[in-house]
A and B are shown apart, each in its own frame.
Chain A
Amino acid sequence: MDSCDTPESTPRQRASSRLKDYFIGATPLQKRLESVRRQTSFVPTPPRRKIPQCSQLQDDVDPQKVAFLLHKQWTLYSLTPLYKFSYTNLKEYSKLLGAFIAAEKQKGLAVEVGEDFNIKVIFSALLGMKGTQRDPEAFLVQILSKSQLPSENREGKVLWTGWFCCIFGDSLLETVSEDFTCLPLFLANGAETNTAMIGTWFQKTFDCYFSPLAINAYNLSWMAAMWTACKMDHYMATTEFLWSVPCSPQRLDISYAIHPEDAKALWDSVHKTPGEVTQEEVDLFMDCLYSHFHRHFKIHLSATRLVRVSTSVASAHTDGKIKILCHKYLIGVLAYLTELAIFQIE
């Protein structure tokens, strides 16, 4: 994994690249050590994040092409870098994965009654789904059912969709050598058995590792603040929060719905620094909601666990499920999720 192992380079190339690294700063391993050291520094600075804006690459994204990504519930996973993945071999990967799935289904591992084995796998690149030019291209994997009759429409029904992306993944890209493709965020929609099969194939083929990405209450409140801060022309959904109170015998769920314009007004009164969201603002925003609720119901929501946040921009559940509703802020939402995924990998 280290960049030190480059046996094919000549001694002179190796020496000059070492000199280059010395001048630039560090080998990927040293950069990785530095980033870990930075994270465990004794007095941490509070995070500041940019409010999702339309990224400069947004023009490249065709709204029609990404419309199928919206209004769908995606299950999130974090993915370690893929070893020797190549965008030119997408057709070959489609064939290999298709064969693998067919073999698995015939083994009887994932047989559902009445399902036909005629499926097709398509790998395709998702152009424009990146934050900066440095981010690797996102790509999409779809499982379609092949229609039985040749006279019918060739394109069958989509059974499962999964896509890999990396939005503003600089902190990870810096620390990884060139053989690896960094696409830390994986989103899947469809049957869990298919997700597991495809995960196994990727893990075997590219020596990577998937792990489910849970979103804790701390990050959900950040998402709530950031998405409320987004300027919207019209609001499609109410802003809703769901808290889970751990009590016996049955769990109690508290749902709190606010008119989106009221939520935005509250945010505007709390917001000080233009273009940025700070920890204090997030805390104050949530504290306002908590104290309002306490005034009416005498319940301390801050002692319970926030499990779901739903706004007009997107909605997220603590189990790692996300639904993006607004095309304009798609990249912004994915940027934060990429950050969480990278953090989980590291």
Chain B
Amino acid sequence: MSVLRPLDKLPGLNTATILLVGTEDALLQQLADAMLKEDCASELKVHLAKSLPLPSNVTRPRIDLIMFVVNLHSKYSLRNVEESLHHVDATFFLGRVGFLATGAGRESHCSVHRNTVVKLAHTYRSPLLFCDLEVEGFRATMAQRLISAELTSVPVFLYIVCGTPPQHG
């Protein structure tokens, strides 16, 4: 099964699983560590993947939330996310997918325009968060936000947060 579907498995008792998809291995690992450090009422599992589709020979729990991480410094990460999106079932986008853009703080290093990611998130009707994952404080805040969003049982993210000033179009 190469397409991820939200309800094809039974939910685990008192567990929540987040899947982070992105090419920036180091940043994803750091974000995952920050999330696991946070206090959590139920058990939290964080899976990391470079891209979709996920290998089908591994048993994994039902995925409750997918965060696609795009690094604005790298066009490659954007292309990777765009291609991975094709392997996600449409019903996932009803509140179980989010986009995370990192690197907007260093404007001089950006090769992807902010509006490109905004448009992508808008096309997929999913929220977009900006966070410089390289900065520990921002990363910890983002980890808290993801966990609090994950643990509510209703579709999450009723707001879009922009952490950076308007940029060149």
Tier of interface size on chain A: 20 to 34
A216 with B23, Cβ < 8 A, contacts A44-B119, A302-B76 known:
no
Instruction: Identify which of B74, B76, B77, B168 gathers the most chain A CB atoms within 10 Å of its CB.
Output: B168
With contact pairs A300-B76, A303-B23, A305-B73 given, residues A39 and B166 touching in the complex (Cβ less than 8 Å):
yes
Find residues 284-319 in chain A having any chain B CB closer than 8 Å to their own CB: 286, 290, 300, 302-306, 318
Q: A217-B111, A221-B111 known; A343 and B168 CB under 8 Å? A: yes
Shortest distance between the CB of A90 and any CB in chain B (Å): 33
B residues 143-169 in Cβ contact with A at 8 Å: 166, 168-169
> Considering the complex, which residues of chain B in the window 89-116 have a beta carbon less than 8 Å from any beta carbon of chain A?
107-113, 115
| Closest chain A residue, CB of each to CB of B162 | A40
Assess whether B166 is in contact with A302, with CB atoms less than 8 Å apart: no
Within 8 Å CB of B166, what residues of A? 36, 39-40
- CA–CA, A109 and B154, complex, Å: 65
- Inter-chain CA distance A269–B110, complex, in Å, is 27
Residues of B within 8 A of A286 (CB): 75
- Count chain B residues whose beta carbon lies closer than 8 angstroms to a beta carbon of A: 21
Partner of B110 from A42, A44, A217, A304 at Cβ < 8 Å: A217
Contact A303 B76 (CB under 8 A): yes
- Contact status A216-B122, CB under 8 Å: no
Report B17 CB to chain A, min CB distance, Å: 28
The answer to whether B118 has its CB under 8 Å from any CB of chain A is yes
Proximity bits, B56-81, A CB within 8 Å = 1, else 0: 00000000000000000111110100
Within 8 A of B (CB), among A19-43: 36, 39-40, 42-43
**Complex Cα–Cα for A169 and B169 (A):** 16
B76-A305 in contact (CB<8A): no
Contact for B75 among A215, A302, A340, A343, CB less than 8 A? A302
B168→A219 contact, CB < 8 A: yes
A303 touches B74 (CB 8 A): yes
**Would you give the shortest CB distance from B124 to chain A, in whole angstroms?**
13
B101 CB, nearest partner CB in chain A, Å: 14
A26 to chain B, nearest CB (A): 20
Given contacts A43-B119, A302-B74, A303-B74, contact A216 B169 (CB under 8 A): no
> Which chain B positions have C-beta within 8 A of A150?
none
Given contacts A43-B119, A44-B119, contact A318 B108 (CB under 8 A): yes
Closest Cβ of chain A to B148, distance in Å, is 25
* B127 CB → nearest A CB, Å: 13
Tell whether, in the assembled complex, residue B115 and residue A216 are in contact, meaning their CB atoms are under 8 Å apart.
no
Choose among A40, A44, A218, A300 the residue that contacts B111 (Cβ–Cβ < 8 A).
Answer: A218
The answer to whether B111 touches A305 (Cβ under 8 A) is: yes
> What residues of A have a CB within 8 angstroms of the CB of B75 in the complex?
286, 290, 302-303
CB-based nearest A residue for B167: A343
A198 at the interface (CB under 8 A from B): no
In this assembly, does A274 line the interface, its C-beta being within 8 Å of a C-beta of chain B? no
CB B169 to nearest CB in A, in angstroms, measures 6
Instruction: Quote the shortest CB–CB distance from B145 to chain A (angstroms).
Output: 21
A122 interface contact, C-beta 8 A: no
In the A-B complex, the 10 residue pairs with the smallest Cβ-Cβ separation, listed nearest first, are A217-B111, A303-B76, A302-B75, A302-B76, A214-B108, A44-B115, A343-B168, A303-B74, A300-B76, A216-B110
| A-B residue pairs in contact (CB < 8 Å), sample of 9 | A36-B166, A42-B122, A43-B118, A44-B169, A47-B169, A216-B107, A217-B73, A219-B168, A344-B168
